[in-house]
Amino acid sequence: MTTDMQQYATTQINKIRTRINNACQAVNRRPENVMLIGASKRQSSELICHFSNNGLSHVGENYLQEAVEKKNELIEQPLTWHFIGQIQSNKTKIIAQNFSWVHGVDRLKIAQRLGQQKDATQADINILIQLNPDNEASKAGVALNDASALCDRIAQTDGVVLRGFMMIPKARELVTDQRKVFSQARELLEQTNQQYSLSMDSLSMGMSTDLEAAISEGSTMIRVGTDLFGARQ
Ligand SMILES: *Cc1c(COP(=O)(O)O)cnc(C)c1O
């Protein structure tokens, strides 16, 4: 059983690394500049452990209680934890104390609370502002037009480091359409850096079905669940 899982983890990581390498090669980017985050919601600690043993070093979790349990079980593994779920403002302390990166920030208040509530000894928390390019009510995130002003304010917040943008666009069938929406995030990042003299360096975009398009448009972090770990329980 364990050897099977070990074998499975090796195969799956190799598959995704190959996709990353090919996508990078097509646009002359370096694969080292694309961080692979295993989106591990609803996957067991045991499975995550095998992936970790095969070189996966970043994991992203959506559900806080599940995430903290798994983090405690995997305490020996050299993993960096990313919170990629919806953020409730009464949960910011637990998030701050358990995660190095928080991807879904869309209000100043959330950033302020994360910065205040982390442990004093903890490094500043890496923050990504979530964009909502399709203005979907079901998703968190700010409209593209409101993002730059929010960046300016969060960049001045203690205890956090503003690193860039995250987005979960609606599924688009055509790669050209996928690329178009991802390119909006890249352009907005460049423009906002200029406008407010910021140095944001990260774009968290691309999942199982659209990671190639995201890498083509400058993604620096892809969050892959299904095509890495397999179907969720
Ligand atoms: C679940 C999830 C993913 C991974 O999705 P897959 O399609 O399974 O690769 C990525 N990002 C977020 C925010 C998620 O919730």
Given a cut of 90, is residue 233 above it in pLDDT? Answer: no
Given a cut of 80, is residue 36 above it in pLDDT? Answer: yes
- CA 196–ligand 1 middle distance (angstroms): 31
- CA 145–ligand 1 middle distance (angstroms): 25
Given a cut of 70, is residue 125 above it in pLDDT? Answer: yes
Task: Give pLDDT, residue 1.
Answer: 61
Which residue's CA lies nearest to atom 4 of ligand 1? Answer: 225
Cβ–ligand 1 distance for 225 under 6 Å, the answer: yes
- CA 121–ligand 1 middle distance (angstroms): 31
Given a cut of 70, is residue 45 above it in pLDDT? Answer: yes
Task: Give pLDDT, residue 2.
Answer: 74
Average pLDDT, the chain: 97
Task: Give pLDDT, residue 55.
Answer: 97
Of 113, 104, 193, 199, nearest to 159 (Cα)? 113
Ligand 1 test: best mutation among 165, 207, 212, 224, most atoms within 8 Å of CB? Answer: 207
Tokens 């990042």, residue located: 189
Cβ–ligand 1 distance for 41 under 6 Å, the answer: yes
Task: Give pLDDT, residue 3.
Answer: 83
Segment 75-87 shows an average pLDDT of 98
Residue type, 12: Q
Segment 52-67 shows an average pLDDT of 98
- CA 36–ligand 1 middle distance (angstroms): 12
Give yes or no for a contact between 130 and 142, defined as CB atoms under 8 angstroms apart.
yes
Given a cut of 80, is residue 188 above it in pLDDT? Answer: yes
- CA 207–ligand 1 middle distance (angstroms): 6
Segment 135-146 shows an average pLDDT of 97
Cβ–ligand 1 distance for 223 under 6 Å, the answer: yes
Cβ–ligand 1 distance for 59 under 6 Å, the answer: no
Given a cut of 70, is residue 52 above it in pLDDT? Answer: yes
Give yes or no for a contact between 225 and 206, defined as CB atoms under 8 angstroms apart.
no
199-208: pLDDT as tens digits? 999 999 999 9
Burial of 152 from C-beta contacts in 10 A (0-12 / 13-18 / 19+): middle
- CA 206–ligand 1 middle distance (angstroms): 9
Task: Give pLDDT, residue 182.
Answer: 98
Ligand 1 test: best mutation among 58, 223, 229, most atoms within 8 Å of CB? Answer: 223
Segment 127-142 shows an average pLDDT of 97
Of 161, 209, 210, nearest to 185 (Cα)? 210
Which residue's CA lies nearest to atom 10 of ligand 1? Answer: 223
Q: Which atom belonging to ligand 1 lies closest to the Cα atom of 207?
A: 9
Q: What is the dihedral of CA 81, 189, 110, 86, to 10 degrees?
A: -60
Share of the chain above pLDDT 90, in %: 98
Share of the chain above pLDDT 70, in %: 100
Given a cut of 80, is residue 11 above it in pLDDT? Answer: yes
